[in-house]
Chains A and B, each alone.
Chain A
Amino acid sequence: MVTDQTIFLVTSAAMVFLGLGSMAYSRNLIKTIMSFQVLVFGVNLALFASSLEGQYSLISNSLVLFSILAGACVEAVGLAIVVSVYRKYGTLNPYEIRRLRN
């Protein structure tokens, strides 16, 4: 019998690897931020699903709360860096930025 926890854990694994893979080949810094957001979604879902059939739901919920706040802060700082990099170099391609820096 397939339980909800199994389904959500498989979904979270898919989302984590989807985000990692998209971050690996992305040529745009905003798309990299979006990939990181999908990765954070996967991690949050895995943390939440780990307590669906157990008795540690409060610990799991507090970990998800911490992860949500940390992920939002990281994304806000990353977007600010992206905007400042675009103002300085005029592009969002990281390879182009590396070429312009040298």
Chain B
Amino acid sequence: MSADFALFMSIVLLATAAVSLFSKRISVSLITLFYSSITLGMIFTIYNGVLVGLLHIVTFAGAVSVLLLTAILMVGEPKLDMNASLGAIATLSAVIVVVALAAYRLLGSVPTNVGPTTAYPATALLQFVWLFRPWDLLILLMVFASATIVVVNLFSQEEP
């Protein structure tokens, strides 16, 4: 796999994790955490860790998400107590600083011509997307979108 793919999956993983932690609606938080679990499982599976990826998806996107959903339904709080925007800004600032330092440290010590063998040499940005079958991607997107709408409606009916 090319570095574009790793960058794309990392951006998706970080975005879903950040939205799940900093969103004020519990349904959005739960759905994005589910997507984050799916994304990390896909990363494991694609990079030759099939058993680890499948176990990760089954455990976190399946069992733990259902546990979280059950606990939230039992508690029954429509909105979380998230009046800590200053803390969120401080956390994001600290994360940006740490990531910048880590990237500087890692990029400074990485040799230039070491890397995994690329099965699909990508010459353009995001070219790996077109290597997959588009109908499969479309069906996956439809399934995820319908599941998202169902869960959002489930939680929105409980709000006064």
B107 touches A6 (CB 8 A): yes
The binding surface of chain B is classed by DSSP as helix
Closest CB in chain A relative to B42 CB, distance in Å: 12
Given known A11-B13, A15-B13, A65-B51, contact A34–B106 (CB-CB < 8 A): no
What is the size category of the interface that chain B forms with chain A?
35 or more
* B115 on the A face (CB < 8 A): yes
A8 touches B84 (CB 8 A): no
* B21 on the A face (CB < 8 A): yes
Extra contacts besides A82-B71, A86-B75 (19): CB < 8 Å: A1-B110, A3-B3, A13-B102, A14-B102, A15-B13, A15-B14, A17-B91, A22-B22, A22-B88, A24-B87, A25-B88, A28-B77, A28-B80, A37-B60, A48-B49, A64-B52, A65-B52, A71-B60, A83-B75
Binding site for B on A (CB under 8 A): 1-4, 6-11, 13-15, 17-19, 21-22, 24-28, 30-31, 33-35, 37-38, 41, 44-45, 48, 52-53, 57, 61, 64-65, 68-69, 71-72, 75-76, 79, 82-83, 86, 92-93
